[in-house]
Chain A
Amino acid sequence: MVGRIEVILMRHNISCAAHGFSEKAPRTCNIIWQGLPQERELFHVEYANDEISPIVPGFTDACAALETSVVTQAEAEFSFIYLRPGSRLARRGGGDPRRGTRSILPFYTAPTAYSCHQPRLLSPALCSQQLSRIGSYKGSQPQLVARRSCRGMVGFPVTPQGRHCGAWRRDHVIEWPPGRAQLSDGRMMVNSYWRSFAPAAAAERRTDKRFVRAQPFQWASAGGRDRTFVFHSLDNARTWLEPVRIDVRPFKSGWTLRPIVELPDGTLLLPCYDEDLDP
């Protein structure tokens, strides 16, 4: 069973749905179901990439333990985060300050709908169009990309133990939802990167300090072997051309999250970043 939560943006007259994984995280989902409905001011935050997050008073004292290894939600999924009492975000939630916990429910949305990097997509009509597509949108565009070029991987896991890794090479995952842009000629472009993972012991040997990040997982980012890709579609995401791998040298990795930007002369700019482990 997959439980769904409806999110309504009243001022914009937009509604969308997010779902939780009741089978894999029953305690967490149950806590949320018991706490609904909630109504609160929404914030745009960046926990994974782009989320809208109502920060609500602590409606439960229960503490949901980590039930899955997935720590970053994908589009149209929700997660549940405890905020420490007294933290800045917890204070925004209001409610009874004596209550031990505050909670936040981030709802992952179509990234372009709320991206501060693409203001032309911020019109309410277009937001509505984007959000109303979430039901079919989830997995449609990324899945097409993945099925053609990524051996059937669905979604965007953060560790090889994540739920989406069954058909994927165990040592590579696409990390974070990709950037998406539509160019002036209609071409759709998706930019993303593979991050290489290795069993923790091997990763520890290779990367040293980075191993601690992956706790408590048994896999860790291996570093230095990540790959950057751009995917093209000429028919509104129905089919995709072969992905273009980008040589980012002299950088070691070209991690990329935000959409490609097109300049008036047709030049495309792809924002990337790199963590150099051996400065």
Chain B
Amino acid sequence: MTWSAFVMRSRDRGRNWAEPTLTTGQAKIGFEEPGLLYLPSGKVIALMRTAPPGWLYQS
């Protein structure tokens, strides 16, 4: 059983969504419940927890 955290992207204010992108690269552990944060530096941080629960990760 594999858990995958990913992000969908919309370039037209939410009418269409595409480009599912993993937030975890090729990590071999499962992640779930991602939350995103945009920083003034231009970075986007994803916080997610491992599945099964144990650790909180940042990507």
Contact = CB atoms under 8 A, between A and B. Distances in A.
A267 interface: yes
B5 A187 contact: no
Contacts, number: 112
A257 B36 CA distance: 11
B44 to A, nearest CB: 7
Contact of A271 (B13, B14, B16, B36): B36
A266 interface: yes
A246 B10 CA distance: 10
Interface in A247-279: 247-251, 254-255, 257-263, 266-277, 279
A246 B7 CA distance: 12
18 contacts: A244-B17, A246-B8, A246-B17, A248-B6, A254-B6, A258-B34, A258-B36, A259-B35, A261-B44, A263-B38, A268-B9, A268-B11, A268-B13, A270-B9, A272-B7, A272-B8, A273-B5, A275-B51
Given A187-B13, A209-B1, A271 B34 contact: yes
Q: Is the interface of B mostly helix, strand, loop or mixed?
A: strand
Interface residues of A, number: 42
B32 A273 contact: yes
A183 interface: yes
B25 to A, nearest CB: 15
Interface in B1-56: 1-11, 13-18, 20, 23, 30-38, 44, 46-48, 51
